[in-house]
């Protein structure tokens, strides 16, 4: 029996044929409707309403071939199988050219027709699945961690959508750990260059001489230790994107070289004379104010204007606290899968800590915190004790002591104790810690029982 309930429309002027086909396919589990002529069939037909039509070739009024033509104009994906009493080669060829899936001759063999219908519908189903998969590829291929539902993140998604299809140079600004490289990858994989590589270069991690070789490559013997010819990052990015991170740390000499190669898309390897052409897109990132560096004479003004064509600012995590729970659960699921652990949730107290913390290290720090919590966590829920900054208050205290994690914990424990009239057992249960730990916390923060 067929369980998918595909819809079939039987079109034949002979009542006995219509009723026979109707009952055959109803018994096979299909939804079936009938029409006695082409005009009635068209009145019943809507795009997507029927998966397959069984159409008599010769009918009074509109012929089966005419109906086939009109149906294909409305919905080219509808399967049409023609039924004919007098099969001829020219007629069959015309039917297939006009878009018929196949044809059968009268008297109809029920088994043959059922097999043909089943095969046709399976092929259509497979085609629909493939098209859906192709359509969802861009949704599937997204850089990890670039998630969030805040208005700030939605604005970033809009900017990515706007600039990705172009070849415009993009400057991504934001603090360390906010996910600048993830935004660069998102721009790249949504561009026409997505089938070529995105080549990242951390400009701040390399000395000038090494950065020059890294970017432009070198010839064999160009310097001590250059035993082989090597392609540079600009050459490797041909057809794709080069992502220059920490661009503000580049020396004045390298700034001149960068300006030249970005303008001309041409360069020579270190120690070589051959001029190499490369078609690359430039995306840069900085956690510094390039405007201030320009004013201080540390960054070339012409290079700055060449790079600052389209700018995207990623706000720090503390300014989009609404994304913290989303990110926290995303990382929790990832690490639990990787470590084969069964932690399903985050306690309200732990989530409160996560949402109130300033996150100077931004998303990267949150990811590390959740990873640590999954490593040490027991049971099915992450608790405050599992979080790294809960263990070492000095690592999380900020300039304002009243807003530190220590002060928050002290305030929270005091509130829970007072709500429970300092019943230690009940308070420990609510805080999801044992009684000994709670006594230690009371001593640590010098909390006093007002009922004594």
pLDDT at 136: 46
* 3-state secondary structure at position 342: coil
Q: Which domains does the chain have, with CATH numbers?
A: 7-137 (3.40.50.2300), 151-315 (3.40.50.300), 319-445 (1.10.8.60)
Cα 48 from Cα 45, distance rounded (Å): 9
Cβ contact 309:197 at 8 Å:
no
Close Cβ partners of 191 (under 8 Å, ≥ 6 residues apart): 164, 165, 166, 241, 281
Give the pLDDT confidence score for residue 312 in this predicted structure: 94
- Is residue 403 very low, low, confident or very high in pLDDT (cuts 50, 70, 90)? low
Q: Is the pLDDT of residue 286 over 50?
A: yes
Looking at the predicted structure, is the pLDDT value of residue 94 above 90? no
Mean pLDDT over residues 81-100, rounded? 79
**Of residues 89 and 307, more confidently modeled:** 307
Intra-chain end-to-end CA distance of the chain, in Å: 77
134 pLDDT band (50/70/90 cuts)? low
Return the percentage of the chain with pLDDT > 90, whole number: 42
pLDDT of residue 87: 63
Interval 229-236 mean pLDDT: 88
The pLDDT assigned to 133 comes to 58
**According to the model, what pLDDT value does residue 400 have?**
44
pLDDT for 298: 93
Q: What is the mean pLDDT of residues 31-59?
A: 90
The model's pLDDT over 241-265, given as tens digits with 9 standing for 90+, comes to 999 999 999 999 999 999 999 999 9
Residue carrying the six token digits 């023609």: 82
Whether the pLDDT of residue 6 is over 60: the answer is: yes
In this prediction, residue 234 has a pLDDT band, given cuts at 50, 70 and 90, of very high
Mean pLDDT score, 233-240: 93
Q: How confident is the model at residue 222 (pLDDT cuts 50, 70, 90)?
A: low
Query: 3-state DSSP call for residue 280?
Result: coil
Helix and strand counts by DSSP (H, E) for the chain: 19, 16
DSSP class per residue in 67-83:
HHHHHHHH-TT-EEEEE
Q: Does the pLDDT at position 278 exceed 90?
A: yes
Compute CA distances 74 → 42, 50, 220, whole Å: 10, 12, 65
Is residue 323 predicted with pLDDT exceeding 80?
A: yes
Note the pLDDT of residue 452: 57
- Predicted confidence at residue 398, as pLDDT, reads 41
Query: Hey, what are 55's tokens?
Result: 């159409």
pLDDT in tens, 332-387: 999 999 998 889 899 988 888 888 888 888 999 999 999 999 998 888 899 888 88
Query: How confident is the model at residue 331, as a pLDDT?
Result: 93
**% residues pLDDT > 70 (the chain):** 89
pLDDT value of residue 397? 43
Mean pLDDT of 175-191: 92
Neighbours of 400 (CB within 10 A): 9
From 117-121, 209-213, 276-280, the region with the lowest mean pLDDT: 209-213
Given strand 31-35, what is the order of strands in its sheet? Answer: 31-35, 7-11, 52-56, 79-84, 102-105
Summarize the confidence of residues 126-146 as an average pLDDT.
Answer: 60
Mean pLDDT rounded to a whole number for the chain: 85
Average of per-residue pLDDT across 421-443: 85
pLDDT mean over 47-74:
89
> Which candidate, 147, 244, 235, places its Cα nearest to that of 196?
235
Phi first, then psi, for residue 377 (nearest 5°) are -65, 145
């Amino acid at each position: 029996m067929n369980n998918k309930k595909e819809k079939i429309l039987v079109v034949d002027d002979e009542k006995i044929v219509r009723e026979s086909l109707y009952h055959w396919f109803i018994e096979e589990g299909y939804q079936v409707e009938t029409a006695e002529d082409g005009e009635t069939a068209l009145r019943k037909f809507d795009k997507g309403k029927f998966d397959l039509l069984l159409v008599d070739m010769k009918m009074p009024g509109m012929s089966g071939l005419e109906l086939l033509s009109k149906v294909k104009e409305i919905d080219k994906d509808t399967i049409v199988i023609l039924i004919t009493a007098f099969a001829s080669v020219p007629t069959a060829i015309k039917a297939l050219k006009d878009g018929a899936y196949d044809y059968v001759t009268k008297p109809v063999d029920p088994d043959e027709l059922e097999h043909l219908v089943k095969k046709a519908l399976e092929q259509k189903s497979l085609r629909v699945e493939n098209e859906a998969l192709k359509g969802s590829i861009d949704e599937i291929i997204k850089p990890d961690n670039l998630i969030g539902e805040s208005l700030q993140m939605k604005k970033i998604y809009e900017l990515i959508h706007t600039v990705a299809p172009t070849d415009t140079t993009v400057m991504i600004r934001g603090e360390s750990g906010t996910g600048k490289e993830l935004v660069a990858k998102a721009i790249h994989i949504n561009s026409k260059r997505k089938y070529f590589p995105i080549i990242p270069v951390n400009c701040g991690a390399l000395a000038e001489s090494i950065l020059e070789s890294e970017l432009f490559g070198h010839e064999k013997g160009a310097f001590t230790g250059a035993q082989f010819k090597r392609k540079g990052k600009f050459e490797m990015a041909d057809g794709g994107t080069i992502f220059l991170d920490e661009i503000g740390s580049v020396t004045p000499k390298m700034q001149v070289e960068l300006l030249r190669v970005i303008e001309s898309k041409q360069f020579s390897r270190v120690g070589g004379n051959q001029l190499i052409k490369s078609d690359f897109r430039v995306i840069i990132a900085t956690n510094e104010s390039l405007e201030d560096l320009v004013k201080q004479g540390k960054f070339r003004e012409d290079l700055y204007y060449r790079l600052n064509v389209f700018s995207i600012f990623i706000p720090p995590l503390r300014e989009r606290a609404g994304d913290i729970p989303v990110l926290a659960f995303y990382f929790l699921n990832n690490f639990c899968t990787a470590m084969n652990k069964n932690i399903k949730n985050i306690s309200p107290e732990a989530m409160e800590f996560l949402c109130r913390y300033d996150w100077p290290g931004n998303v990267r720090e949150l990811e590390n915190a959740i990873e640590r919590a999954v490593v040490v966590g027991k049971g099915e829920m992450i608790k405050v004790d599992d979080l790294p900054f809960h263990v070492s208050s000095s690592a999380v205290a900020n300039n304002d002591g009243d807003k530190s994690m220590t002060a928050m914990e002290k305030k929270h424990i005091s509130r829970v104790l007072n709500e429970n009239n300092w019943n230690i057992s009940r308070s420990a249960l609510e805080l999801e810690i044992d009684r000994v730990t709670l006594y230690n916390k009371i001593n640590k923060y010098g909390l006093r029982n007002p009922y004594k």
